[in-house]
Amino acid sequence: MQKRSRIIIAIGVLLILGTATAQADWFDGFESYPAGGGIHGQGGWAGWNDDPAFDAIISDLQAFTGSQSVAIAGAADIVQPFSGYNSGVWYLTTWMLIPNDFSGETYFLVLNTYAPNGAQNWSVQIRFTGGTITTDTAGGETMPYVTGQWSELQLVIDLQSDLQTFYYNGTMLYQASWSEGVSGGGAVEIACVDLYANNATPVYYDEMSLAPATVSVESKSLSQVKNLFR
Ligand SMILES: [Ca+2]
């Protein structure tokens, strides 16, 4: 193969790798906000219906990484809106800590349609209470949660197939339709994530991200890919 052709192919491979290894579209480790203060109006976060009464507090008592997380307690009902997510496959991932002395019922929610004081439609409504996780999708699946340690929540949102799959610490809790998830008759879009305390005692979230599913070429190193063309 001529040198010039190799260079052109190499540039093409780099472009492919650049796409395949794209970083998260959105990420929050809650390190950039003052501890003890609210998060409403910062980093894209806003109280439910843009109401600061539903603010959540940045905590330096707990952290999965760094020294801070967001505490979801009391009146907290905090939303991170997304826009333009209407195709592809996405991972919405976060780490969550439920203290040993947690009491009440706290919620992890994702909507397919969200306008403050406007159209709203739920795809995901997951409740944590009394040691049990329950999904409010049609199957109503349950599993136990752990307390006193960080656990991974991962939602795989396949907008190509209108399908969602939720994993807790790597174990699948349920798979369900995306647009018909909870409310029914929703959009095939990702509109927002909502952390809702429902007057419960604090739980903590850290390292939240929304990232595209990667293609298989990502698993190959650059040298391996180059070898494909030798
Ligand atoms: Ca953090």
- Ligand 1 centroid, distance to 31 Cα (angstroms): 5
CA–centroid distance, residue 36 to ligand 1 (Å)? 14
Q: Indicate whether 230 pLDDT > 90.
A: no
All domains in the chain, ordered by first residue: 25-216 (2.60.120.200)
φ, ψ dihedrals at 48, nearest 5°:
-50, 135
Instruction: Write out pLDDT tens, residues 89-144.
Output: 999 999 999 999 999 999 999 999 999 999 999 999 999 999 999 999 999 999 99
User: Cα(196) to centroid of ligand 1, in Å?
Assistant: 19
Which residues surround the ion ligand 1 when the cut-off is CB under 5 Å? Answer: 29-30, 63, 66, 68, 206
pLDDT at 110: 99
The span from the CA of 66 to the CA of 72, in Å, is: 18
Average pLDDT over residues 39-46: 98
pLDDT of residue 214: 77
CA distance 132 to 135: 10
Residue 134 has φ and ψ, to the nearest 5°, of -130, 130
Provide the mean pLDDT of the chain. 89
Number of Cβ atoms within 10 Å of the Cβ of 78: 23
53 Cα–ligand 1 center, Å: 24
* pTM for this entry: 0.85
Given a cut of 50, whether residue 20 has pLDDT beyond it is no
* Residue 225, pLDDT score: 44
Closest residue by Cα to residue 56 from 68, 42, 44, 39: 39
**Residue 23: per-residue pLDDT:** 73
Average pLDDT for residues 18-45, to the nearest whole number? 87
Cα-to-centroid distance, 208 and ligand 1 (Å): 9
Range in 12-16, 32-36, 148-152 the model is least confident about: 12-16
pLDDT tens track for 76-92: 999 999 999 999 999 99
- pLDDT-derived band at 16, boundaries 50, 70, 90: very low
b (16+ CB within 10 A) / e for 191-217: bbbbbbbbebbbbbbbbbbbebeeeee
**Is the model's pLDDT at 14 over the cut of 50?**
no
Distance from Cα 176 to the centre of ligand 1, integer Å: 30
Q: For residue 47, name the pLDDT band (cuts at 50, 70, 90).
A: very high
